[in-house]
Structure 1
Amino acid sequence: MDTCTTLYKYTSIEDVDSRRIPVDAGAPFDRGDIILRSADNVDFHFHKLLLSLASSFFSNMFSLPQPDSLDDAADRTKDGLPIIPVTENSVILQKLLSFCSPVYDTDVPALENLDIVMSVLDAADKYDMKRVGIFIVRMITAPRFLEKEPMRVFAIACRYRSEAETLVAARYMLRFAVWEPAYVSELDFISGSDFQRLVKYHTNCGQAMTQLTRLWSTYPLPLLDCKFCRKKGVSRLSLKEYQDSVIETLRIRPSVESLLNPEWIDSMVRRAGSCIGCKERAPRALAEYAKELAFPVMAIILEIPLDIDFR
């Protein structure tokens, strides 16, 4: 039997959840000409037209011969409206249907974490809601996702062949050594080639940091005239020692955030052998210096292609 027909033909409420009597979802899902019943027996009233526009799956379903409108068997209709059972729970179904609403562009449904993102994306993929899927993937580079789970963001964006979001995640992951991010289950849905391209991209960005050697004269170390030691503070640090440390640090983690890491700055201050007075100002001076280096570092990174085929 056709998948759409199988889903449309609902034989018994008990087949979904015999432990719970169906309840209405409430506004704004309290009107429409169809009812979608979630796996946990929550009924969502919605409009066939909106579902058809958002989903070719439902469009094809509604083109099939409809059940007899006079048949009001409790397990197939409710308030004279046909019931369509779905396997998604009410939390995921509510978010999915919200994305099918014509107002979601201005009133975006909340996606609290990447587990919910994946569940809604899976549902959108299942029901062939391409526009909804594209819109959701564009949301995953929000800081609350990217800063917490960049590898998951990369894998999700790559799986759905979203080039811009995949590149954003790949660049964010330059903050880590290539071996540091832990395995995430979303990697199972992309190819080994895609992951290898990520590793190669990271390596290429790190190797390209040697280009900074051409710019040292433009970015000299900051001077700190110290009234205590009467010396030049940070400038007491060997210029070559600092430059070599910068390039080595960026080779492993090719991101300006590596140079802003307090632990790394402290190590440079200790190497400078500054007195107490210098040590109070040196970290801030080195942080400001690192921010200036952000421009050439980012310029180098922007020249490195990720080289994943998104077709």
Structure 2
Amino acid sequence: MAAPQRAVDLKPRAQGQDKASSSSSKRFHPAFAALDADIVLESSDGELYRIHAYTLRSTSGFFRAMLSLPQPPGRRDATIQVHQPKDTVEQLLCLMCGLDMRPWHSYDDLAAVLALAEIWDTPGPIASLRAVVTNPKYLTTAPLDIYVLAVHFGWTVEAELASTHTLTLNLSSPEHADTLASLPAPALLALLNLHRKRRDTLRTLLDSPARFLAGNGNPFHCGTCAITPLDNTSWRALKHRVFREMDERPIGDGLGVPVGGICEWEEARACWAAKCLKPGCGAVNYDRVATLKQIKACVDGLPRVIQWDWD
């Protein structure tokens, strides 16, 4: 996660101003306006927060180090400027102070607060946010971002869970290039290997005569007349379409379903319509229901999480 070059700046107040008057033209957040608090933070968009120094020191390694340093003359009552907007600062301060928080609006809001929590070295809020990142809403809408986040913080369980949800994505799509480039090489390879292994393993299973004898037997004769070798052109076309689907959507949730998904493909309709060419026979080459069940069984047995030595 990229961090700003500076976490805070100190802006001295004009000589003779007190806490109440120095910021009269700006708004204090109502939850952080106690007059006995001795530290004032200011967000990048001008909202102010009065916080007790004890709270900052006890919850943030960054402020613990900063507030322990001797301050030059004129800096005693300085306002600490934070280079993040009020929505981000407010959420993190609420976590640090144990106050109620507003609902999260998006993954980007969550990621911004987590980035600031890392800059400020706040273990408590980071632990709380760890539980939030696996919200199904984020895993569904931003699985690759969650994976990057989990890898960055070394969260094994969360990374594995997110890797499963990335199976709805085509990682070859240009829209994911920048996000993938932000991953360390081992994490990137683990994710790419998961996607590729699902496709290649399914290819091996679909080519197996033991699982799909009628389509892969060499030769396989019509099960009704037992005379005519089957023309497996339609089966090979269907397998090729399945492989393409696994590249585009490795989760494979549209494969093996009796309605929708694979059943709407032109290749599938041609496969179920293929019949024995012997005059007077005309038996269908493939059992539609049995074939779909076998395809689903193959997909269900594919790996679903990354394999990576986190040590």
Aligning the two structures, in what range does the TM-score lie when normalised by the shorter sequence? 0.5 to 0.7
Say whether 1:35 aligns with 2:40: yes
Q: Where do residues 1-311 of structure 1 align in structure 2 (5 Å cutoff)?
A: 7=8, 9-12=10-13, 21-26=25-30, 28-31=31-34, 33=37, 34-65=39-70, 77=77, 83-102=79-98, 107=100, 109-180=102-173, 182-183=175-176, 185-209=178-202, 210-211=204-205, 244=239, 248=243, 251-252=246-247, 253-259=249-255, 262-267=260-265, 270-271=269-270, 272-273=272-273, 297-302=299-304, 305-307=306-308, 309-311=309-311
Change (3 A) 1:166 1:214: farther
Q: Which runs of 5+ in 1 are unaligned?
A: 1-5, 14-19, 218-236, 275-284
- Contact kept, 8 Å, 2:8 with 2:83, in 1: the verdict is no
Change (3 A) 1:294 1:60: farther
Name the SS for the 2:253 alignment partner: helix
User: Any idea what SS the aligned residue of 1:84 has?
Assistant: strand
TM-score under structure 1 length normalisation: 0.64
Q: In 2, Cα distance between the equivalents of 1:215 and 1:100?
A: 60
Identity score, percent = 19
After superposition, give the CA deviation of every residue in 1:76-121 in whole Å (9 maximum; x if it has no partner).
Answer: 64xxxx6322111211100111221335xxx555332232223212
SS of 2:63's partner is helix
Report the AA paired with residue 203 of structure 1.
R
**Contact 1:39 1:85 survives alignment (8 Å):** yes
> Quick one: distance in 1 between partners of 2:102 and 2:179?
23
Give yes or no for contact 1:98–1:109 (8 Å, CA) kept in 2: no
Quickly say closer, same or farther: Cα 1:60–1:97, change in 2 above 3 A: same
Q: List gaps (5 residues or longer) in structure 2.
A: 1-6, 15-23, 213-231, 275-287
Name the CA shift for 1:111/1:215 in 2 (closer, same or farther; >3 Å): farther
Q: Whole-Å Cα distance in 2 between the matches of residues 12 and 184 of structure 1?
A: 46
C-alpha distance in 2 between matches for 1:167 and 1:132: 22
Separation in 2, partners of 1:169, 1:215: 34
Asked if structure 2 preserves the Cα contact closer than 8 Å seen for 1:99 and 1:108, the reply is yes
Q: CA deviation at 1:163?
A: 1.7
Amino acid at match of 2:84: E
When Rg is computed on C-alpha atoms for both structures, the one with the higher figure is: 2
Count of aligned residue pairs for this structure pair: 254
Partner of 1:16: none
Shift of residue 214, structure 1, vs aligned partner: 9.5
- Tell me: CA distance 1:115–1:256, structure 2 relative to 1, closer, same or farther (3 Å): same
Distance 1:135 1:295 in 2: 39
Letter in 2 for 1:270: R
User: Contact conserved, 1:121 with 1:133, CA < 8 A, in 2?
Assistant: yes
Q: Give the 3 Å change call, closer, same or farther, for CA 147–65 of structure 1 in structure 2.
A: same
Q: Is the 8 A contact 1:38 1:86 kept in 2?
A: yes
Question: Deviation at 1:203?
Answer: 1.0
Amino acid at match of 2:88: I
